[in-house]
Structure formats: structure tokens, C-alpha cells
């Protein structure tokens, strides 16, 4: 059960790993060029009008939408089976003849294929077996399942199967959970006055292909080589076994950091940008002479170049993600664009795309000037990612 919780919780954790060198990320391009048109709109922002990036929506279902439909269909079917099994169990409990046996409730069954199984404190026993002396260890076995609340484990596993019906490993986990329950119950039974030989003989006499509900604990479930081996040995774990178990600790620790850690390179880069901006000297939002980009007035050359190089993330298109990212950058005294920074965030995919475009832009032809001297000029521009 710990492994189940570990597998579910670890990917949800977010342990930041600071990355001080972001140049290696240049090769990790997650997006493709899918721009369709450029529209210039008036804005209260002084320096630059917004750039609107529209994404053409093709007809039909995207891959993400198709996979979502398939997943939800499987989810509904799996939940239907789960509810069906719960309803059948409750009906069997309500309609069958019952009697108290201490803190347990014995439910008489008429299905010879399901001679004994348990669900919480309800022990389902075929009526023909209730009075058999040789069958009492089997009932004791099911009482141990009930006392250890194994039904809770089984229900939790079944609910995870409902959510992850597509995951083949969750079915292996269910098998191991049930087998572990059997080991525990077998060990507890053999710690009583029950003779081991008689107990083994009774197990082998059971019908192997018995029918029972998956979320119940069945006495004759998993007559596997491992279970029979455990029954014949029944001795404490050896030092070798303990060493093998401890060897898993570094593996689990490694998997934990692989799945739980996240890169915070962009945040680190932004932090460094803020620190560096204080070192370049005074920044002018409106110098006497504004910078020139490719000799064109009103910065149309810059916006056209920006439009050509800006990408609408493919993943954002598939998920219908839109928004406005407002970016600030500086044109320094040499005409270089430096320190791009998101000052109004949207979705992380859009933020990343808005920053990445500055790595592809050319330098400005001439910097801004005050009293004839080049100065640092600050610009702000909204980038509107808009779905059609």
C-alpha cells in the first residue's frame, strides 16, 4: 500500500532543481511554427502595440481530445464494473441467511463454487461447510482477513484501477496485494493450533477455479508456487532477504527525485535578469531619440520580425490554451536586446514561447539616445495568443 501511495504522490510533488546554465535548453524545442496572421491593435502601452498570434483550428478531434474520450470511456466502464460488484455484494448480504459469530457475521451461500470468502466483517461460507471440522481453518483464515481490514486495501486498489484502467502495472499490483494478504493470513493461521499438514491438504482440496468477487478476500485464491513455498517454509526473513530489501532504498530515492524534481531554469534566469538589470545603468522608458530597428519607423520591422519568429505552442493548441503574455525587455547602448522578462504571466506554455522568441531576434540598428548619447531603453509588449 505504501508503494501505491508512493507512485501516486511522487509525480505530484514539485521539488525545484535550480539550473544556472540555460544555454543547454536551446535544443529542447517543444513547439512548431503554426502562425496564421498578424493583427496590429491600439493599446495604452506606450512603446509597442500588441502582437496577436492566432492559431488555426483544424476540423475533427485532436490527438489529445481523442485520447481524453478513450480514457473517459474506459473510466466510465471501469466504474460501472466497480459499482456492479459492490451492488451484487450488498444484495448477497441482504438476501442471505446470516448469524453472528463474535464480532464477525457469517453469511450462508448456496454457490458451491464460492465456498468461503470475506468482505469486511462478513464471512461468506457455503452452508454445507459450516459444520465440517476440517473446514474451520478456512473460516479462521477469512476472519484474519477481516480483522486486518484487507477489504480496505482491495477497495483502494480497485478505485485506482478505475482511474488507471489503461495501466498494466496496476493489475500486477492488485495481484501482489492479494497474494500478500494470503501470506499474512496463512502465517497467522499456522501460528495457532492448526496442523500445517492438514492445512496444506485442505488448501489443495479446494476447487482451484472458484468464482468470487475481485474486491473480496478468497481463501483459495492464488494457489501459486510462491504461496505453497511460503506455507512450507514459514520462517523469519533471512539476512540475505533483508539486504535485498535495503538495496531497494537507493533505487526508490533515485526514482523519487527523477519524478518529483522540476527544472526552474526560467525562474533562475529571471532572477539573474533582475539582478543584472541593476548593473547596466539607468534605463529610459522614453528617451529623446527612440531606438531604430532595421531603419523602419513605428517599430513595424521589429513587430513583423517578432511575428515571423514567434511560435504558438502545439500543446497549447491541442488543449485550447490562450492568453496574454506581457513581456519587458531592454535595448542596451549597443542596440542589443537583453533581459527579456515576463511581467504578466499566462499559461506556462505561452510564457515559455514568449521568452524563447527573443533568442531568435536580431539586434536593433541604433540604440535610443539622450543628449546625443546612447542609452538603455526599456520596452513592453503584449503578446496575445488567441484561438480561432
Among 99, 97, 93, smallest CA distance to 117 is for 93
Report d(CA 338, CA 185) in Å as an integer.
68
235 — pLDDT class (breaks 50, 70, 90): low
**How large is the average pLDDT for residues 325-347?**
90
pLDDT at residue number 246 = 78
- Compare 198 and 125 and report the one with higher pLDDT: 125
Task: Judge whether 215 and 195 are in contact, CB under 8 Å.
Answer: no
pLDDT at 319 over 70: yes
CB atoms within 10 A of CB 388: 10
Among 198, 363, 375, smallest CA distance to 283 is for 375
- Compare 332 and 250 and report the one with higher pLDDT: 332
CB atoms within 10 A of CB 192: 10
Q: How many CA atoms lie within 13 A of 108 on its CB side?
A: 10
Pure H helices in the chain: 2-9, 63-95, 136-147, 150-163, 168-190, 196-205, 225-233, 239-260, 265-277, 300-309, 314-318, 348-356
Give the domain ranges of the chain: 31-60+280-387, 63-235
The label of the residue with cell 473480496 reads 216
pLDDT at 108 over 80: yes
pLDDT at 237 over 80: no
Strand partners, 377: 284, 331
The label of the residue with cell 470468502 reads 117
pLDDT at 84 over 90: yes
Percent above pLDDT 90 for the chain: 19
Q: Which of 74-88, 123-137, 271-285 has the lowest mean pLDDT?
A: 271-285
User: 262-285: b or e for each residue (b if 16 or more CB lie within 10 Å)?
Assistant: eebbbebbbeebeeebeeeeebee
Report d(CA 137, CA 115) in Å as an integer.
13
Task: Judge whether 355 and 266 are in contact, CB under 8 Å.
Answer: yes
Report d(CA 210, CA 41) in Å as an integer.
73
- Compare 113 and 51 and report the one with higher pLDDT: 51
Report d(CA 336, CA 117) in Å as an integer.
76
Task: Judge whether 337 and 388 are in contact, CB under 8 Å.
Answer: no
216 — pLDDT class (breaks 50, 70, 90): low
**How large is the average pLDDT for residues 361-387?**
88
- Compare 31 and 113 and report the one with higher pLDDT: 113
**How large is the average pLDDT for residues 295-304?**
68
The label of the residue with cell 501459486 reads 224
- Compare 327 and 216 and report the one with higher pLDDT: 327
Report d(CA 251, CA 361) in Å as an integer.
44
What is the average pLDDT value for the chain, to the nearest integer? 75
pLDDT at 69 over 50: yes
**How large is the average pLDDT for residues 284-288?**
85
Quick one: fold of 31-60+280-387? 3.30.1150
Among 236, 153, 231, smallest CA distance to 190 is for 231
pLDDT tens digit sequence for 10-20? 777 766 554 44
C-alpha of 361 from chain center: 36
Task: Specify the long-range contacts of residues 249-254, CB closer than 8 Å, at least 24 apart.
Answer: 252/6
pLDDT tens digit sequence for 351-367? 999 899 888 888 888 88
Q: Which of 93-97, 149-153, 255-259, 368-372 has the lowest mean pLDDT?
A: 255-259
Amino acid at each position: 500500500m505504501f508503494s501505491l501511495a508512493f507512485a501516486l504522490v511522487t509525480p505530484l510533488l514539485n521539488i525545484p532543481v535550480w539550473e544556472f546554465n540555460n544555454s543547454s535548453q536551446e535544443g529542447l524545442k517543444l513547439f512548431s511554427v503554426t502562425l496564421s496572421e498578424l493583427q496590429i491593435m491600439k493599446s495604452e502601452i506606450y512603446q509597442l502595440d500588441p502582437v496577436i498570434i492566432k492559431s488555426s483550428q483544424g476540423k475533427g478531434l485532436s490527438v489529445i481530445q481523442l485520447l481524453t474520450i478513450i480514457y473517459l470511456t474506459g473510466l466510465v466502464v471501469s466504474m460501472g464494473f466497480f459499482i456492479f460488484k459492490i451492488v451484487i455484494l450488498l444484495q448477497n448480504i441482504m438476501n442471505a441467511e446470516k448469524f453472528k459469530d463474535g464480532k464477525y457475521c457469517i453469511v450462508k451461500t448456496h454457490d458451491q463454487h464460492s465456498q468461503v470468502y470475506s468482505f469486511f466483517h462478513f464471512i461468506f461460507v457455503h452452508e454445507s461447510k459450516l459444520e465440517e471440522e476440517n473446514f474451520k481453518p478456512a473460516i479462521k483464515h477469512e476472519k484474519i482477513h477481516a480483522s486486518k481490514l484487507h477489504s480496505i486495501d482491495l477497495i483502494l486498489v480497485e478505485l485506482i484501477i478505475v482511474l488507471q484502467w489503461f495501466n498494466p502495472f496496476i493489475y500486477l499490483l492488485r495481484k501482489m496485494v492479494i497474494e500478500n494478504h494470503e501470506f499474512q493470513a496463512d502465517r497467522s493461521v499456522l501460528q495457532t493450533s492448526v496442523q500445517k499438514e492438514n492445512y496444506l491438504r485442505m488448501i489443495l482440496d479446494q476447487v482451484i477455479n472458484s468464482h468470487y468477487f475481485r474486491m473480496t478476500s478468497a481463501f483459495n485464491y492464488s494457489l501459486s508456487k510462491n504461496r505453497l513455498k511460503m506455507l512450507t517454509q514459514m520462517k523469519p526473513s533471512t539476512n540475505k532477504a533483508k539486504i535485498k530489501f535495503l538495496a531497494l532504498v537507493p533505487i526508490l530515492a533515485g526514482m523519487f527525485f527523477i519524478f518529483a524534481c522540476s527544472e526552474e531554469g526560467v525562474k533562475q534566469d529571471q532572477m539573474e535578469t533582475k539582478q543584472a538589470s541593476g548593473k547596466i545603468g539607468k534605463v529610459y522608458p522614453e528617451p529623446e531619440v527612440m531606438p531604430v530597428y532595421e531603419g523602419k519607423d513605428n517599430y513595424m520591422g521589429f513587430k513583423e520580425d517578432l511575428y515571423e519568429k514567434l511560435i504558438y505552442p502545439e500543446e497549447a493548441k491541442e488543449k485550447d490554451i490562450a492568453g496574454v503574455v506581457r513581456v519587458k525587455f531592454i535595448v542596451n547602448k549597443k542596440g542589443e536586446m537583453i533581459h527579456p522578462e515576463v511581467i504578466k504571466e499566462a499559461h506556462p506554455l505561452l510564457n515559455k514561447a514568449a521568452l524563447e522568441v527573443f533568442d531568435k531576434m536580431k539586434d536593433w540598428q541604433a540604440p535610443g539616445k539622450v543628449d546625443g548619447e546612447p542609452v538603455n531603453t526599456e520596452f513592453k509588449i503584449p503578446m496575445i495568443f488567441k484561438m480561432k
